[in-house]
Amino acid sequence: MSEQELIEGCIRNQPAAQELLFKIFSSKMLAVCCRYTTNKAEAEDLLQDGFIKVFSKIELFRGQGSLEGWIKRIMVNTALDALRRNKKLQFNDLKEDSEIPHTGLKPGDQLQAKDLMMLIQALPNGFRTVFNLYAIEGYSHKEIGELLGISENTSKSQYSRARSQLQKMLQLTEPQDIR
């Protein structure tokens, strides 16, 4: 089935087409949702909410850009809406000596992608959200400000603080040089 046939099937609410679209994109989109939550159950809820939006708005997809990119944007917006709705989107002003969240990683552990994801998930919501939008999704600070209702400078400072926190957490996992 071509992508266009898949889209047309979803527009006609054909369960087989919807199931196939879900199978094709669900694992990638779950990873997107995980970046904005602290646990997999929340991410799975976001994924379901996001796909409900995808299926209800699929006729709006005009083929400008990739279908995956369009779905990803819906997932990001669904995550942001949930953070706002649950009043979890707070912007932090951590001091330099603030406590670093414990991640369970030990010095000398080999970091893998899942470990880096765990470090990002340990960031406070505001830091994590801005970090994801800027560093991973590729939004500009101006776009982030508009999406989140904050100033461009607030976005920049949240990103800077998120990077600083991540660097501190990474330093805690680096092997100590014994001389």
Architecture in CATH for domain 3-85: Orthogonal Bundle (1.10)
Do 91-179 and 3-85 have the same topology in CATH? Answer: no
The C-alpha angle with vertex 59 and arms to 36 and 145, in degrees rounded to 5, equals: 35
Report the phi/psi class of residue 138: left, alpha or beta, with left for phi > 0 and alpha for psi in -120 to 50. left
- Give residue-wise pLDDT tens across range 126-174: 999 999 999 999 999 999 999 999 999 999 999 999 999 998 888 876 6
Greater confidence (177 vs 3) lies with: 3
CA distance 131 to 100: 17
| pLDDT at 66 (0 to 100) | 95
Binned at pLDDT 50, 70 and 90, residue 91 comes out as low
CA distance 30 to 137: 14
| pLDDT at 56 (0 to 100) | 97
28 Cβ partners below 8 Å, 6+ apart? 68, 72
- Give residue-wise pLDDT tens across range 44-57: 999 999 999 999 99
154 Cβ partners below 8 Å, 6+ apart? 91, 145
CATH 1.10.630.10 fits 91-179, yes or no: no
pTM of the predicted model as reported, rounded to 2 decimal places: 0.78
Locate the domains of the chain by residue range. Answer: 3-85, 91-179
- Give residue-wise pLDDT tens across range 157-167: 999 999 999 98
Which two three-digit tokens encode residue 109?
A: 């552990």
| pLDDT at 84 (0 to 100) | 86
